[in-house]
Amino acid sequence: MTIANKITLLRILLIPVFMAAYEFLGEGSFAFVPTLIFAVAAFTDMLDGYLARSRNEVTTFGKFMDPIADKVLVMAAMLLLVRDHRLSAVAAVIFLAREFIVSGFRLVAAAARVVIAASPLAKVKTVSQLVAMILLLLNNYPFSLIGLPLADISVYVALVFTIWSGIEYIVRNRGVLSLQREIGNGEEAPKK
Q: What is the pLDDT of residues 35-74, one digit of tens each?
A: 999 999 999 988 888 888 888 888 877 777 888 888 899 9
In the chain, % of residues over pLDDT 90: 48
| Record: fold of 3-178 | Four Helix Bundle (Hemerythrin (Met), subunit A) (1.20.120)
Q: Judge whether 48 and 7 are in contact, CB under 8 Å.
A: yes
Q: Which of 12-26, 116-130, 176-190 reaches the highest mean pLDDT?
A: 12-26
Q: Of the given ranges (87-91, 141-145, 153-157, 185-189), which has the lowest mean pLDDT?
A: 185-189
> Structural domain boundaries of the chain?
3-178
Global pTM reads 0.83
**Contact partners, residue 21, CB within 8 Å, separation at least 6:** 33, 34, 37
> For residues 163 and 33, what is the distance between their CA atoms, to the nearest angstrom?
31
